[in-house]
Structure 1
Amino acid sequence: MLIGVAAGGALVAIIILVGLFRLMWRVAEPNEALVISGSKHRTDGVGEGMGFRIVTGRGTLVMPGVQAVRRLSLDLNEAELNVDCVTQQGIPLKVHGVVIFKVGDDMVSIANAARRFLDQQKFMPERVHNVFAGHLRSIVGGLTVEQMIRDRERLTAETRAASGSEMEKLGLIIDSLQIHEIVDPTGYINNLAAPHAAAVQRDARIAQAEADRLATEAEQQAAARMAEATRDSQILQAGYMAERDKATASSRQAGPLAEAAARQEVVVQETRVAELEAQRREQQLQADVRKPADASAYEKRTLAEAERDARISAAEAKARETELAAAAEANRVKTAAAAQAEQTRVSGEASAAATRATGEAEAAATQARGLAEAEAAKARGLAEAESIKARAAALAENQEAVVAQQLAENWPEIVRAGAEAFGNVDHMVLLNGADGMSEMFAKALTMGGTGLGLARQLLAQMNGATGAGGDAPSNGAAPRSPERVRLQD
């Protein structure tokens, strides 16, 4: 009884262990990788402490509730390329192609792809299309339409090489890149093919015409041979009929007709000889005249066609040369115009800089002259003020001496003004000679005349200067010197 219970308990334990093992055991399919997160693991080529481990092609234990396991597909994926591009010549094209890619088999690629596309694998074709579209536009922008058409392998190789590093960062590898079609909405490619198609069509028409000519010649020769055979047959039939008639006549007429039959035989034989001679001459004419004439005509026609093709080729080469020369001249003119514009711009900038420097120098000189003139005016004003101040001080200290000095300095004008009093005198009689003249002149100066007015004006100016200086008496009257009192009296 106890043995049965123990056996049952052992069986239950085994069943539980098997169930737990099946619950914890995960197996990676050949086309997928298991990404197990929840603890730090070391992955070859990736580094330590990634927080997840990668299992491919085998089974592994996963702790439920502690670790999480997700599957990353390693199957092939396909991304359609429909990219609008512009070539180096500025011609818009549409490039259609397909990219076949997958997640790399190495641990580094799987780790990179797991970080970027885990649970988002449906967005992988869109991301790949964006990567290839950018590089494809850049590469097509550096190529011409002719290069793309004639060397499509170069376009594929450059696009694959340019996108390889970015695909490697995404953990993806390119299995295949194919450019299916280059669509030209502007018709540029058709225009490129037009000259070649025209040349092929021309050669086809020439070949057809040559074939028609040869067929016509063969038909004519066959018709001639048929006519010749018909003629020979008719001649033979006529001969046979003559022989038959001869036999009939011979049988009907034995006498007189024998001679006629003989003569008829002679005529027939002569006719046959003549016909054979005519046939021989015709054959001779065919060999001597018609065949050489046909050969000569064929030679001339062939030479004319060759000369025509040569002229067409020369004209096309000349047109191409003219086009290249025009393009070169246009580039030269454009370069010269750009150089002239650059020279004009540099000259303008130099002239502007010179004008600005000249203006600044003139402004500085004008400012310096203005400052100098202001300083000079200020110095003159200060000097005049100092002179007035000194004159006022001198007048306050010794008024008589100052007045005498001023009178002495202005005495010529005073005498001139006094002499003007005699300007209107026509005739003067002096009784006492020189003494009378002196007395007359002294009276002219002392009588309210012009000379006395000048003297009074001079004294008034001196009094005003004294009043401004502050040294005049308090009642506003200037001191009266003896000379001034004598003049007023």
Structure 2
Amino acid sequence: MIFVPAERKDPMFEFLLSPIPGLIALGIVVFLIGLIYAKTVYKNAGPDEALVITGKKSKKTIVDGATMEESGQRVVHGQGVFITPFFQKAFKISLRSRAIEITAVAQDQNGVTLTVEAVAIVKVGDDPAAIRAAAQRFLGQDKNIDGFAQEVLSGSLRSSIGGTNVMTIIQKRDELGSSVLATARESLANQGVDVDSFEIKGITDENDYIRDLGRAEQAKVRRQAEVAEHQANREAQEAAILAEQAIAEAQNTLALRKAALQLDTDKAAAEAAAAKPLAEAKAQQAIVQEQELTAQRRASLRKAELESEVNAIADADAYRIRVTAIAAAEAAVAGANADRDSRIANAEALRAEGQAEADAILARGTAEATATRLSAEAVAEQSEALIQLRMVEMLPEIARELAAPMSNIDNLTVISTDGASQLTKNVASGFTEVDGVLKSTMGLGIRELLGNLVGGVAAGAAAATTVKPQASLTTAQQADVDHALAAPAVEA
């Protein structure tokens, strides 16, 4: 037995062949048709629009024996409404406000020709009767509303101007506007048009009548203004004079006050200047008094310190002396015996030493007497040599005096071809002059003085060596004698 597999069918193909897609397409078509139909039968009015629906029969009613016919037109604004296709129609009319410029040339009741400019705000009325009336006259021709309203308002404005005068128009413009609206409102309402406001913009005339009306008033006002200005100027000048006078008086008072204050200030400054030295003197006196008290207290303190120190030292010294005295007494008792023996021995030694010293003194005296005698003889014989020796001793002092002027010079400039050696020559020339003076007065120059001095010293030394001692002397005694003999020679 053979099995044949069944053919596999596509689900999408089966879905397309089923009645479901046709039903979906039919539903979409019905929906679109419904939208188109709804758009056709449903009308919606904007906030500034009104719908006028026609096609319905009018109704007649009898009220108090009078037959009233109700229009079959339906007015709808601010909402939507369904209409019956083929039997009813819907028309839109604008309810927007519009500004209209109005210019009217007319004569007032005095025959003065005036040109009045005004502006009016008009629109289609809000009630259904006004909308139906406007639709009957201006549907599809909204611009005609401006021209119609302008003509009606211009005529009403000319009529109102003819019933008043210039001063009333100028002073009471609101009354003119109200009169224009009262005259034109009925005519406009019959056309379905309403006026929101009416304002007068300006009033002019070609003959300067309005300007001439104000000339008298202007002159009066100008005159009053000039008078007031002069009065104000006079008052201002008077006020300025009073102000200057007050300023001058204030300045005078201020100057006097400043002078008084300056006087007080100078007086206070003088008193302060005089009080300062006095205060300083008093302060100095107080300081001196305090210093005196301080010195007295310091002296008292120092006195007390010294007394304390002296007392302490005295007590310590007394104790030390007492202890020392006791120790010394004990030592003295102990050393007295030793001193006795020592003194006995020392006395013998001193006796021998005194004898030796006596012998030495005797020999020294003998030698000195001999040397003195020899010196006296030499002085007597050689007095001229002593004078020459004195002159030689004065040579350094003479040289010092010759050089003294140069020692006081801080800076020295030598102007000579020999340079600094000229100074040495000047000093040498000074000694030459001194040598000339000595030769002219004493007959000896510096060279002869120095030669005689050297010869005298040599002779003195030779004479001293010829003296012999007369007694036998010790070595120490011989040294004293030699020293005594050498002294005169050195002095020579």
Of structures 1 and 2, the larger Rg is shown by: 2
TM-score exceeds 0.5: no
Task: With the length of structure 1 as denominator, give the TM-score of the two structures.
Answer: 0.44
TM-score, normalization: structure 2? 0.44
